[in-house]
Structure 1
Amino acid sequence: MNLVLTVLEIVSPVFLLALVGFVWVRTGHEYRLEFVTKLAMTLSVPALIFTALVNTSIEPSALTALLFAAIAAYGAVTVVTMIAVKVIGLERRTFLNPLIFGNTGNLGLPLALFAFGEEGLGYAVVVFAVMAIWSFTFGVYVTAGGGSPMKAAKEPLVWATLLGGLFLWQDWTLPRFAMNTLQLLGQIAIPIMLITLGVAVARLHPRGMPRAMVLSLGKAVVCAGVAAGVGYYFALPPIAFAVLVVQVTTPVAVTSYMLAEKYGADSDSVAGLVVASTLLSVAYLPIILAFVI
């Protein structure tokens, strides 16, 4: 019973804030999704990543081990997913990206913070950064059917990760007024991302929900299995192991829908994956947390 209550205490704020965004839009209130998303991804999330890395008390060696584990996990998930998409006969431009990448930002960072505190958040930003860089390079290349892999170099969150890692490695910090400012800016990231997730889901027009449910369940099983296997192989400490599994297994991100819409893939099918996997995550993420806590 205590374990059930603990898991509910962790996941309830995450899904309740997403529900706030969903209800906000459904009741006719305005929410400028493009502006809020740009604000979060350009300012608040990079500030959150940088301050989390600078202030972390985790040993750099532990973060390095998780970094390589995250790279290995996403590499393995990419290979398995590419094979599955080809065998099943799905369109690669539409389905490969959402089946690889999860919602490690909007959903994964809050879950790691609520479940494992500041240490969990420090680990989570490393996995998030690996996913983001891979998504902005390989993910965009696949969905767009080509393009430059250097797009990731233009993303503020990539630079925030690199600078945060450098400051952590050198044991540097910024003047107190600068750190306080960045911490305040970073504190708005998690509630904004969760509310925006609810808003985005409320505005989607999903298609092919039965197939989306099956694919989403398969994605969750593959990602959880791969992440757990990689975590055992790298002998990660308990919290790092748990964060890796949770982050890699998060549901399809709304950004996959945005990329499909931008580059002319089947965005309605991707919307179905976003909705189906997010609904399924309400059930499977508490189960995963119950096993790893």
Structure 2
Amino acid sequence: MTIFFSVVLPVILVFAIGFAVQKWQKLDLRPLSTVAIYVMTPALVFRTFYQSEVDMQYVYMIIFSLVLLFALIILNKFYVKVMNYSSSLESGMILSTAFMNAGNYGAPIILFAYGEAAFAYAVSFLVFQSIIMNFFGVYYAARGGTGIRTAIKAVFAMPATYAVIVAIALKSFSLGIPENLFRTVDIIAEATIPTVMIILGMQLARIEWGNFEWGKISYAVVVRLLVSPLIAWFITLALPIDPLLAKVLIVSAAMPSAATIVIYAVQFDAKPKFVSSVTFISTLISIITLTLLLMILG
């Protein structure tokens, strides 16, 4: 229970504050989300890559992300074929199970559980996951040739992508930035995590209850919270990954469905009610599963 009170509960309480504020005030999330996406997250990503030493562990992180993604996609395709579900439901299941909330849920959990070194890995992982989500998530939501073109545009429209490029370029050419300018970046970066946590709570407050397809939701929740970290564990055994990074990746893989993916499901009509339901239910149940996983990993 110590892990729950010291690691999980503080994060859940921040979500709860965002949830309560949204239920009370019914605010427009677009301006706040825009600031988080275009200003705050790029600042956090830039600081992380600018200060971190990029080595082979980051290559293993990319390999891990792709192997996990394709393993979950194959699992869903097999399940949909066996159950004889529709193509649109297949898209909804892939969206709700293959993409985890590594940013506004995973990063703070890892920070509280394992400290600043692990947090640097977590931020790097959320960048890779954002790129994967913006490409494959959009593709499976839209499908077909249009989906590919839209997915490519989505990746290059993501500010964090350019933050990584600029940070690595500066490091590669040994170019420093003035201390006062970096302090500005640092201030914004520090505010990013609590802001996106509150935004997640507000997003969850907008999901409507009622008429849940519990059979399909149960499958998706089990895959997202239990099967995904199990696959992640096997992948970390197969790669020469640093033990701390391995914990970060396994915990990240055990995160609930990404709230961002609900936007794609709504935009492209890829079973939005099902996807949003899985996001909400998996976030609630993750309070228990993450606590247990953190206890197992130590």
The yes-or-no answer on 1:62 pairing with 2:65 is no
Aligned to 1:102: 100
Count of matched residue positions in the alignment of Structure 1 and Structure 2: 288
CA distance 1:168–1:213, change in 2 (3 Å): farther
Aligned to 2:245: 240
CA distance 1:5–1:173, change in 2 (3 Å): farther
Offset, 1:190: 0.8
The alignment's TM-score, normalised by the length of structure 1, stands at: 0.91
CA–CA distance in structure 1, aligned partners of residues 19 and 213 of structure 2: 19
**Amino acid across the alignment from 1:74:** L
Pick aligned residue for 1:43 from 18, 39, 43:
39
CA–CA distance in structure 2, aligned partners of residues 122 and 130 of structure 1: 13
Offset, 1:215: 2.1
Pick aligned residue for 1:150 from 126, 130, 152:
152
Q: More deviation in 153-162 or 11-20? A: 153-162
The yes-or-no answer on 1:132 pairing with 2:130 is yes
CA distance 1:245–1:169, change in 2 (3 Å): farther
CA–CA distance in structure 2, aligned partners of residues 270 and 192 of structure 1: 23
Offset, 1:213: 3.2
**1:150-195 CA distance string (max 9 Å, x none):** 2201210122233334445555542212211111111221111111
**Amino acid across the alignment from 2:5:** L
The alignment's TM-score, normalised by the length of structure 2, stands at: 0.89
Structure 2: tracts of 5 or more residues without a match: none
Aligned to 2:220: 215
The yes-or-no answer on 1:272 pairing with 2:269 is no
Aligned to 1:22: 19
Paired residues of 2:224 and 2:255 also in contact (CA < 8 A)? no
**Amino acid across the alignment from 2:90:** R
CA–CA distance in structure 2, aligned partners of residues 113 and 227 of structure 1: 19
> Residues 167-246 of structure 1: matches in 2 within 5 Å?
167-168=170-171, 172-206=175-209, 207-208=211-212, 210-211=214-215, 212-246=217-251
CA distance 1:168–1:225, change in 2 (3 Å): farther
Offset, 1:140: 0.3
**Amino acid across the alignment from 2:152:** M
CA–CA distance in structure 2, aligned partners of residues 188 and 166 of structure 1: 25
CA–CA distance in structure 2, aligned partners of residues 37 and 88 of structure 1: 37
CA–CA distance in structure 2, aligned partners of residues 203 and 285 of structure 1: 24
**Amino acid across the alignment from 1:210:** W
Offset, 1:116: 1.8
